[in-house]
Amino acid sequence: MEAIELLRTRRSVVVRNLSGPGPSKDELNSIIEAGLRVPDHGKIGPWRIQIITEKGQKKLGDIFSKAFKKEHGDRATDPMIEFEKNRPSRAPCLLVITSNIIVPHKIPEMEQKLSGGALCMNILNAAHALGYSAQWLTEWVSYNVDIKVALGHDPSVDIIGMIYIGTPLEQPQQRERPSIDTVVSEWSG
């Protein structure tokens, strides 16, 4: 497919519809390389990528369920806890992307954060280009301090994406997008 067609037609596939196979090691490297080819004002590199291995996905499931129980106490039912245990393993490949900004810095905080968002977007497009599908999620788990710390991050670091990658079980319907004239205007002074 032409690159422009690929970009114009990419869609996320919801994680429950992502199955195996996931990208091979080499393919994942290509996806990450594409991710890293991102505008980064001041060459700060204000982002990090963690590849959660299969073993890591299982361990992370234990961490999610423990944090869930801590947050919800007696309201956490067995099926809910089971769902949390399985949450990181819903797709064959999971990447955790963090925004590791430097503050104060002459490059504004917003620009450093946006670079992380662009990295996530490049990862989605690269996965799509290799024939995989992906979903960029945060969910409650990205905002939980115990989970951040268990993943080795300082609480001040933002988890900006948990990107799940796999093979789509079914192709999604196209999602309605804003028409160009509702969001684009011309300005000539």
Ligand X SMILES: Cc1cc2nc3c(=O)[nH]c(=O)nc-3n(C[C@H](O)[C@H](O)[C@H](O)COP(=O)(O)O)c2cc1C
The residues binding ligand X (CB under 6 A) are 11-12, 135-139, 161, 175
Residues whose CB falls within 8 Å of the CB of residue 144, separated by 6 or more in sequence, listed in order: 67, 71
Which of helix, strand or coil describes residue 145? Answer: helix
Shortest distance, CB of residue 140 to ligand X, whole angstroms? 8
Compare residues 106 and 110 and give the one whose CB is closer to ligand X: 110
For 108: left if phi > 0, alpha if psi spans -120 to 50, otherwise beta; the answer is beta
Compare residues 24 and 72 and give the one whose CB is closer to ligand X: 72
Burial class of residue 33, CB neighbours in 10 A (0-12, 13-18, 19+): exposed
Compare residues 42 and 136 and give the one whose CB is closer to ligand X: 136
> What letter would DSSP give residue 169?
S
Compare residues 65 and 188 and give the one whose CB is closer to ligand X: 65
In this chain, which residue has its C-beta nearest to ligand X? 12
H-helix or E-strand spanning residue 177: none
Compare residues 76 and 137 and give the one whose CB is closer to ligand X: 137
**Alpha-carbon dihedral sign for residues 45, 51, 57, 62:** negative
Angle at 123 between CA 122 and CA 124, to 5 degrees: 90
Which of helix, strand or coil describes residue 88? Answer: helix
Contact 96, 161 (CB under 8 A): yes
Shortest distance, CB of residue 138 to ligand X, whole angstroms? 4
